[in-house]
Amino acid sequence: MRSLMIGTRGSRLAITQTEMVAAGLKAAVPGIEIGIEIIHTKGDKILDVPLAKVGGKGLFVKEIEEALLDGRCDLAVHSLKDVPAELPDGLILGAALVREVAYDAFVSRSWQCPKSLPQGARVGTSSLRRQAMLMAIRPDLCVVSLRGNVETRLRKLDEGLDAIVLAAAGLRRLGLSDRISAFLTPPEFVPAAGQGIVVVECRTDDSEVLDLLRRALEHAPTRIVMRAERAFLAAMGGGCQVPLGAFARIEGEAIVMAGMLGRPDGTDLRLVNVEGSVKSPEDAGRQVAQQLLANGGRQILDELEAAAS
C-alpha cells in the first residue's frame, strides 16, 4: 500500500481530526503517502437554517460517503455524532479513535455556568438537545440558533451573546480549552450519542485498509461505548429533529449508560440510567431506549413527529 486518499469536511476541526488520522497511519506504515480531499456537505452549505429544520440524517456525511463508494476516496474521517445509526451498504466504520471528553462545554466571557446567567440571557446553540436541557434548568433563557464552525460560533459569542454551548472535544482538539467556562455533565446534561469520538469509515470489501485501520487507530474501549450509543440511536430512530442524548462509560466489566429524551422547550425531560455488560454493549443501548420509550418517551416522539409533518 503506497497511498491513500482521505475525504473530510473543510472546517479547521475536521482537518485537525483528519491530520490525527493521517499521523496514526504514517506511524504504522512509514513512507505511505496520504492525500486529503475536502468535500462540502449539505450541512456545510446550509448555514442560515437551524439543523432541526433542515431535516434528514447524514447532513454532514452523505457526500463524503458517496465519494467513498465511487472510489474518489479510500477513507473518510467523521465526528461520530454526525454519522447516522445505519450506514450505506458497502461501508463500515473501520476504526474508532480514543474518545475525547464527551461532555458539552459552556462558554462565556462573564459567566461561569448556566445557573449563573442573568435573567433572560441569550445563549447560542445549534442543538435541540442542548436547548432542551438548558431550558429545563433555566426556562427564562433566550436560546438562539447558532450554526457554523467552532471559530464562527466563538466569534458570535464575542459579538454579543451571553454564552454558547458546544462540544468540549472540538475546543480541546483545536487548542481552545481556555475558552471553556464549565463542562456540562450528566445527569443535567447528557451528551449527544457518539460525541467526542472520531471514526474512520471505509469500504467493507477493502480488507487491506480495514486491517490497517484496526492495527493503527482502533481503540477497543471506545468501540464498546460506541456500539452501545449507536444501538440506542437505532432503537430510538432519532436524528437532529429530536432532543436526544446518550452517554456510555466502562466501569470494570460493566457498561454504565445514561439516556435522555425531551421536548425542545425543556418542559418534559425523561432520563434513564442502565448498567449492562461490556460483552453486550448493544443490549445496554437498546435497554436504555426501551425504558425511555416506555417512560413517556413514545408519546413525546409521536407528538414531535406529528408537529414536524
Catalytic site residues? Answer: 82
To which residue does cell 447516522 refer? 84
Q: Cα 33 from chain centroid?
A: 29
Query: Do 124 and 164 meet the contact criterion of CB atoms below 8 Å apart?
Result: yes
Question: 271 phi and psi, to 5 degrees?
Answer: -125, 140
β 33-38/104-107 pair status: unpaired
CB atoms within 10 A of CB 155: 11
CA atoms of 125 and 135, how far apart (whole Å): 12
Angle at 283 between CA 277 and CA 287, to 5 degrees: 110
Q: Cα 91 from chain centroid?
A: 19
Q: Which of 148, 175, 166, 51 is nearest to 103 (CA)?
A: 166
- Residues whose CB is less than 8 angstroms from the CB of residue 88 and which lie 6 or more positions away in sequence, other chains included: 65, 69
Instruction: Report the half-sphere exposure of 43 (CA within 13 A, side-chain side).
Output: 23
CA atoms of 218 and 96, how far apart (whole Å): 5
